[in-house]
Structure 1
Amino acid sequence: MNASTASALILLLVAAGAARADESADRPLRLIGSLQGKGAVARSFVIDGWVKPGDGDNQTSVEGWFSGLEDDPPHGAVQGSCVESHCALTVSTSDGKLSFTGELLDPKAPAPARFTAKDEDDKVVAQGTATIGPLTGPVPGLGALAAPDAVRAPEFDQLLVWNHLSAPSGSVSDEPIGDSERDSLADWQKTQNRPGTGLLFAADLAGLRAGAAAARKAAGWTDLGDKAHGWAGGYPAALLPRAERRAGEQRFASADGKATLAYAVGAPMTDAAFDALVERETGDHPERSDVGYNRVNGDMDLHYQQAGVVHVQAWHNHEGGLARMEFLYPAAAADTYDQIGAIIASTFVVSDDVKP
């Protein structure tokens, strides 16, 4: 084999390896379409999704978000599968289900497809044809979508919380924003006098980031944590200016000492010990009110009111360590501390690699 032949073979192998890598990676899929026929539930719509590798050759799956483009549009999660370019997608909305079939994977131009709409009782309420093609520019009348990777779920959750919106708590998975985030985004869009689509536009992302920055500044928010030790959190220095370390805890308090916040990372509990802690904390306590808690494996958050004091607590028990947070404040000062309590709880994020 001469040198030129060897070089050509190397280039072919590199190109083949790159192609296989591309095939194994998730990639964005953005479509815009319209429905025709009597009873069409959304005359025009956008699908903002991701194409993921499937179970076999030439098979892929699709996950993402669908929204109509009217003032009060139907919207919901999209799921489906494709064989080569032919796809069957299903949208779950508050009113039922909407399904599409056609050549939907990476279309180069608008193409015909079929749709069926069913109500909550699985009864067909509309069906007909659709025209679906690539979204290559701004959404007419609404603007440009944010870039597919402009923000991921962990950061977006924090943006929602700082803008006083509900968000999944403790997200550490580097995934695209999900259905719950989209629903909260749709609610926020309505407060901005815009259609609640749940589609993330570039202007929305800029607005959420600006709102979060202003709220963080007003609270004097100071980030805490240690990436090497697998946790992150923070405290509002404007409300809790007194800081100290005591018995392995980082502690913060209001000027009058009536509101306190503590973080600690220590040795892990055994499963039995953590079960006992959960049972003890969530058991019957007649002196407590407004009790709420959530447990998933070794992670638990709890809030309640007792003797005029609000308790906001979280535990994250993993193989390497136990991280905990406790925020206490007077119930009479709820207007001052309720929102920042939600932020403290949501920004306390612990990974599986947590350690003392």
Structure 2
Amino acid sequence: MTRSNPFPSLLRAFFQEWLVEQRSASVHTIRSYRDTWRLLLRFIAERKGGGVARVALADISADEVRAFLHHTEHGRGSTIGTRNCRLAAIRSFFSFVADRNPEYVAQCAEVLTVPLKREPTSAPCYLEPAEVEAILAQPDRSTVAGMRDHALLSFLYNSGARIQEALDLCPDAIRFDAPHCARLNGKGRKERICPLWPETVTLIEKLLERQPRAPDERIFVNRYGKPLGASGVRFKLAAYVDEAAKAVPSLRSKHVTPHSFRHATAVHLVAAGVDITVIRSWLGHVSLDTTNHYAQANLETKRKALEQVGAPAASNVPPSWKRDASLMEWLDTL
């Protein structure tokens, strides 16, 4: 490393000093930023024709960042949301560099002006109660793996937890006595308490009888006793959905992921008439606007609201503007 290429030391300081020590970023944020910089450095090194070790700070221009984002979306087939997450990681680094090394402020300012890309907002795809039941019926509960999958999916639907929140669950985070509940650690290390059905607690208790775990060990593990990963859960869930679609054909048109159970929980709570602020606390949303998104998704709730309003009564009386002949005559002159 030479003084002419301060980039390696700046990147190391960004991760070790800024993210870890000063910002106390979560391990998930650090890994996400790490993956972004791995991809970006390999992308630039390939375009420059040298190795990653030869990439300098001057090589990471605003044009290179735009090219990388275009490659992320169109070359790698990532979503706009993923593209924006990559840009957020890059922006964070250049904001750090601008504060630490003012001599690079012009380059940093150019990169920081690269805009986020707006994506269309669509109604969340959620599961109907019959579809949830069909999926939950698929795991073979005579095996430990089947018991684990059934308990995990039931917990996702009961709690509305994000997949990583569920996979991080330990026995000491569950109250097995009434009133049953679970303590979840969500985004931003925000803790919340979610009520649990007795049936869900029973499923977890039976799983722990077959596969005992220490109070601080994760409940949902693989055959080797290692914590499950989100990718593994998605793979198993896809197989269950394919089987469930034979009984409930509507599942064939839906892209079902572990997060779909979170959507289902929110929409079903709205349909049950639960106050929207309670649902926000249940799901751990920061903004009420996020929770309101689910209130717009349930077609049955909209239909019931429409039935309460009723259709307007027909009237043979023309509106006032049509009864005013002088107004009509004046409009004809325009």
Query: TM tier, shorter chain?
Result: under 0.3
What is the TM-score with the length of structure 2 in the denominator? Answer: 0.27
In terms of fraction of residues, the more helix-rich structure is 2
Taking structure 1 as the reference length, the TM-score comes to 0.26
Indicate the structure (1 or 2) with the bigger Cα radius of gyration.
2
Q: Which has the higher contact order (CA 8 A, sep 6+)?
A: 2
| Structure that is richer in strand per residue | 1
